[in-house]
Amino acid sequence: MSFHSNEPHAGDVAGRLNWLRAGVLGANDGIVSVAAIVVGVAGATSAIAPILTAGVAGLVGGAISMALGEYVSVSSQSDSQRALIEKERRELAEMPEEELAELTAIYESKGITAGTARQVAVELTEHDALAAHLEAELGITEHAVVSAWHAAGASALAFTVGGILPLAAILMTPEPVRVLATFVAVLIALVITGTLSARIGGSSWIRPTLRIVIGGALALATTFLIGTLLGTTGVV
């Protein structure tokens, strides 16, 4: 029997989706957050020094914040997964017959006859009891515990890569078209990240991409308006 190449039979699907989530969220946050900061400052002043200062501060602070948030979140998830694995390991050592009966009942509940379910449970237990119970009861594997450090690093890197784009766009374009060029660069980048995430995730790209683009455009327009109002009223 051969697997269909376009179906996610591989055991690393959950890991791939986790990396995708962290990467896309980090890149989108970097693009929108840094763009909103520099566009807002550009609305208040045309001086390049405040724009550069605010942009770099936003880039560094945002990357650290993303990494910290992802580390805390994934650490909690990893701790829970490890606790469940250890609990299952302990139960298998202390009450193997009860665990075998539980595994049999799980397969019976899926529509397998009692005799076949028992045979499947016995054979899987003889092969790798812990793996069989983790997959059937919890839907995880012993090696699928996500790394908090990897997730934090991926988020920080993605945020930085995303944030560099609007910062470069606003610093490298002439003052008369500075804000417009940043708007265009950001919206194009959001289209790319939205489409890429949808393609890798196997879903339609139109709706999620539109959500990202519209949200980014609203963020930039709002901060630019606020910056312009502050600049024209003399507050800054």
Q: Looking at per-residue confidence, does 225 or 114 come out higher?
A: 225
Sign of CA dihedral 177, 181, 184, 186: negative
- What percent of the chain is predicted at pLDDT more than 70? 84
* CA 19/CA 151 separation, integer angstroms: 7
Structure tokens at 190: 């959001």
pLDDT digits (tens, 9 = 90+) for 141-174: 666 677 788 888 888 999 999 999 999 999 999 9
What mean pLDDT value characterizes the chain?
83
Res 80 pLDDT > 80: yes
pLDDT digits (tens, 9 = 90+) for 191-206: 988 887 777 666 777 8
pLDDT digits (tens, 9 = 90+) for 101-131: 888 888 888 888 888 888 888 887 888 877 8
pLDDT band for 5, please (50, 70, 90 cuts): very low
* CA 134/CA 52 separation, integer angstroms: 51
CA distances from residue 39 to 28, 64, 214, 220 in whole angstroms, order as listed: 16, 21, 16, 7
* CA 92/CA 94 separation, integer angstroms: 6
Q: What angle do CA 171, 175, 178 make, to 5 degrees?
A: 60
- What percent of the chain is predicted at pLDDT more than 90? 36
Burial (CB count within 10 angstroms: exposed 0-12, middle 13-18, buried 19+), residue 212:
buried
* CA 224/CA 1 separation, integer angstroms: 59
- Please list, in sequence order, all residues whose beta carbon lies within 8 angstroms of the beta carbon of residue 56, skipping any fewer than 6 positions away: 167
pTM exceeding the 0.75 threshold for the entire prediction = no
Res 7 pLDDT > 60: no
- Please list, in sequence order, all residues whose beta carbon lies within 8 angstroms of the beta carbon of residue 66, skipping any fewer than 6 positions away: 25, 26, 29, 30, 155, 156, 158, 159
Res 41 pLDDT > 80: yes
